[in-house]
Amino acid sequence: MAFTAARPLIPPQDLKSFQEHLARSKRVLALLGAGLSASSGLPTFRGAGGLWRTHDAMQLATPEAFNRDPGLVWQFYSYRRHMALNAKPNPAHYALAELAKKNPEFITISQNVDGLSPRAGHPANQLKLLHGSLFDVKCSEFFCNYLETNNYTDPIVPALALPTDESDPTTNEAIKVRELDISDENVDLPEVSLRDLPRCPQCQRGLLRPGVVWFGEWLPRDVQRDIDRWTAQPENIDLIMVIGTSAKVYPAAGYVDSARNKGARVAVVNTDKNDAPQGGMYTNDWFFEGDAAVIVPELLKSEIGEIKPEDMRDGERTSV
């Protein structure tokens, strides 16, 4: 996929003032949302109208849905895992990863579960996954603490493989196999037996479940602790970049407020000019309207150099 801009997106004076401030900045925070991965071609399931087949995606992302129909929930998440693994990190993911490597006091809070930031080589100790990851799995039994990270097996069990359509060849060519898109309600959804879903290898009783934070669940305490400790340090925060998220809902909105209270200037990158943080925009803030995959590498180029196609190696994926 080519990541090109149809027109200049960044006013030169804003680019200059941002890069001058970035050069002076020591402690930098980034807050990432689904808009960061939009250029990687991932479907998003946000808002009341977010449907997967005929199901409200938000209703599938609950412990109650998993208890009621674990097969359906696993089909939804297996589909998302498959889509994420077939997407590639875009230049913005790589640019943020490079900035983290150059600045050990830069941390990133990501609301994304798609695994693209880790696959772009973002240092794990500087990447705080607020909502978990599609590629972590854990036991659903209350008293079992089994957790497996970076499970990129696709499908995670054979029963969750996407159905295929084998075309009827009219020549001597080999039969072409096409994966069917099970997000389309007109495509029959295969039945999945409970016994064929992934089981916990530790307790041997519980079903494994996706290691994401579902509605009604607590955010990861270790992640929150790390963020709170970093924010509470006596030194000022110089800059917070809010990329691909409106940051209107807590705790995301709270991180913007906390950074402001420590002296940070705010830089927003978003395709919707109305998606300002909950606290609004201040005089010295920046709003860069457009595609994060184009804008973020340009903003950071003065510190990290240019992100070239040959630099974009999907290290995590190729090691699987």
Angle 27-32-37 from CA coordinates, rounded to 5°: 140
Residue 158 is labelled as binding a ligand: no
pLDDT bin (cut points 50, 70, 90) of residue 198 is: very high
Q: Which of 2-16, 239-253, 284-298 has the lowest mean pLDDT?
A: 2-16
Residue 311 burial (10 A CB sphere; 0-12, 13-18, 19+): middle
Q: What is the pLDDT of residue 50?
A: 75
> What is the pTM for the complete model shown?
0.89
Structure tokens of 238?
A: 């110089």
Residue 203 is labelled as binding a ligand: yes
Q: pLDDT averaged over the chain? A: 89
Residue 280 is labelled as binding a ligand: no
Structure tokens of 229?
A: 């400790």
Average pLDDT over every residue of 157-170: 79
Q: For residue 13, give the H/E element and its range.
A: helix 12-24
Residue 270 is labelled as binding a ligand: no
Q: What is the pLDDT of residue 276?
A: 84
Q: What is the pLDDT of residue 48?
A: 42
Active site residues: 131
pLDDT bin (cut points 50, 70, 90) of residue 279 is: confident
Contact 41, 164 (CB under 8 A): no
Gap between the Cα atoms of 90 and 116, Å rounded: 8
